Amino acid sequence: MTGGLRASLQECSLIGDVIARNAAMYSHKPALIDLDGASVTFSEFGRHVGGLTSALRGLGLGKGSRVAIISRNRVEYLEAVCVSASGLIALPLNWRLSPREIAAILEDSNPGAVISSSEFAPMIDDIFSGSHRPHLICFDGERDGWIAYAGLADGPSRQLDIGLHPDDTACLVYTSGTTGAPKGAELSHRGLLLNCGRAVNELLGLTPEDGTLAPMPFFHVGGLWYHLFPSFAAGCTTFVTADFTPADVLRIIAERRITNIHVVPAMLHALISHPDVASLDMSSLRLVFYGASTIPLSVLKGAMTAFASSGFVQGYGSTEAGMVTYLSPEAHRAAVSSPPLGARLLSCGRSFSNVEVRLSEGEVGEFLVRSPMTMSGYWRNPDATARAISNGWLATGDLGRIDDDGYCYILDRKSDMIVSGGENVYPREVEDVLREHPDVAEVAIFDLPDDRWVQKVATAIVLRAGASGRTEEIVTFARERLAHYKCPKEVFFVEILPRNGAGKVLRKELRIKFSKARSTGIEENRDG
């Protein structure tokens, strides 16, 4: 932990500064409340982080050692992430990934400890069976060969002289690249706290009187560092949900008088489509923050009607870039009330202060970003870092345009990435897995529109001679090897894939061809 109390959030340059400041300023106030009953005050939070980090250092983990965390949302999750206060590096794991994908990330990052809920502990045991095992820590319950989390968090805390610098890595977040190989984005104390400051002041306008609901999964940089941690840093009380269930979220907003919430468009659509939205009191909700993917205009306008007392903010950013642009509540209201400004609802807003955005070329190009909030680089991957960052400018992979007033419009994904329910899906990664199926000769992944998930994954497959593959076999094969949200929801069997002169598959043609044939669920489609 760091020494010396920082009077304001702006003075905090390390994660430990925020923890110490809030433990002093909001000592007995609840910081996090789990809707299953667990809660922790700001002072208890500080003590738990101190006990946990001291124990981990006592187990032999040194500055820069990785601590992987895998669990559904819970109060202790944020405590575990804050091991960065002692110079360790937090590594949130996406529990929706397949065991094979998680094993690849753990092999690449080589953590000194893994903190897991009992739900995922058997998988972690299997991954490390017959290999070097890091220290394994269980959030809940007793397990052979594991250390109980409570015993560490409730243990003694000692001051550590670790020589932390704001540019040291605090968090390592893995994102799948277009090649399918996972890459760990290194996020520094400085970048994360600047993101917090932007969220607290410019994006959300948070005060200690606010009550936040956190339905986004904490392994998401959007759920953790762009929403949950800003709420903690601002002195808010945050209500933690293990999973997103529309009925429960609406009930919690009404009963707990929640003032702000962060959702992806698919969540927002589920909320306004639920019958309880009309009967429950939503008047406490002053701000709805949405992001992670484009939003259908019908969903946004429906939400602005359903949550009429709320302001709406869209945030555009990425794990690598941090927060880039935002569309303010004022811009939302102006776009609705003034038809000439209506197109701005389709934009992702204007850039934050101290964030530069430009296009790679011409009127339409790739968004390039330069700011102190961008990642330091990819973990032990200098080649990928060099491809992503040039002269301080980060290539986002998003194609778009910028109007004369500085509003940014995303037109397409340079990498053909699909965003389904707020989760990124890279076609090449899925294609590589499906090519392992013995009946598959050629495969192409593309997206189709979906009312619930905004985009859904579809595949066109050319079968090997004599093969008679079926949709159920393809989907089962994928689900055994990939996170379910990456797996095809529709399968089309074709005789040939459309390609350009260079041999590249034309995903756009597939998207156009099969958009008329899409259905509401998985079905088999044969096209000669």
CATH number of the domain to which 162 belongs:
3.40.50.980
Q: Distance from CA of residue 302 to its chain's centroid?
A: 24
Residue 189 predicted with pLDDT over 80: yes
| Predicted local confidence at residue 182, as pLDDT | 81
- Residue 169: per-residue pLDDT: 97
Would 138 be classed as within a structural domain? yes
* Strands 377-378 and 182-188, sheet pairing: antiparallel
The closest alpha carbon to 417, from 407, 430, 408, belongs to 430
Q: What tokens were used for 2? A: 């760091």
Residue ending a domain, among 141, 156, 188, is 188
pLDDT tier, 269 (very low <50, low <70, confident <90, very high otherwise): confident
Query: pTM here?
Result: 0.84
Please report whether residue 291 resides in a domain.
Answer: no
Final residue before a domain boundary, out of 132, 157, 188 = 188
What tens digit of pLDDT does each residue of 455-487 get?
Answer: 999 999 999 888 887 899 999 999 999 999 999
Percentages of the chain per state (helix, strand, coil), in multiples of 5:
35, 25, 40
Confidence class for position 164, pLDDT limits 50, 70, 90:
very high
In a domain, 249, yes or no: no
Give me the pLDDT at residue 176, please.
Answer: 60
Q: What angle do CA 387, 388, 392 make, to 5 degrees?
A: 110
**Mean pLDDT across 481-505:** 85
Pick the closest to residue 261 from 311, 219, 308 (CA basis).
Answer: 311
The CB-side HSE value for 515 (13 A sphere, CA atoms) comes to: 13
In the chain, the number of structural domains is 2
Residue at 112 is within a domain: yes
Between these two residues, 190 and 342, which has the higher pLDDT value? Answer: 190
For the stretch 215-240, pLDDT in tens is 999 998 888 887 789 999 999 999 99
Residue 195 has pLDDT above 70, yes or no: yes
| Nearest-angstrom CA–CA distance, 429 and 445 | 9
261 within 8 A of 251, measured Cβ to Cβ? no
Instruction: Dump strand ranges (E) for 93-223.
Output: 113-116, 135-138, 147-148, 169-176, 182-188, 211-214
Burial class (CB in 10 A: 0-12, 13-18, 19+), 462: middle
424 has pLDDT over 90: no
Q: Please report, for the domain that includes residue 435, its CATH number.
A: 3.30.300.30
Q: Is the pLDDT of residue 319 over 50?
A: yes
Q: Which residue has the tokens 């202790």?
A: 76
Within a domain: residue 248? no
What is the domain range of residue 115?
Answer: 42-188
| Domain-embedded: residue 498 | yes
Domain contains 234:
no
Contact of 349 with 410, CB cutoff 8 Å: no
DSSP assignments along 58-115, one per residue: HTT--TT-EEEEE-SS-HHHHHHHGGGGGT-EEEE--TTS-HHHHHHHHHHH--SEEE
pLDDT band at 519 (very low <50, low <70, confident <90, very high): very low
| Domain termination site, one of 188, 208, 235 | 188
Please give the pLDDT value at position 159. Answer: 73
**DSSP code at position 484:** G
For residues 84-103, give the mean pLDDT. Answer: 94
Under 8 Å between Cβ of 316 and 408: yes
User: Residue 518's pLDDT band (boundaries 50, 70, 90)?
Assistant: low
452 occurs within a structural domain:
yes
**Separation of alpha carbons 352 and 315, rounded Å:** 10
| pLDDT at res. 439 | 92
pLDDT confidence bin for 526, thresholds 50/70/90: very low
Q: Output the CA torsion 192→94→203→392 (10° steps).
A: 50
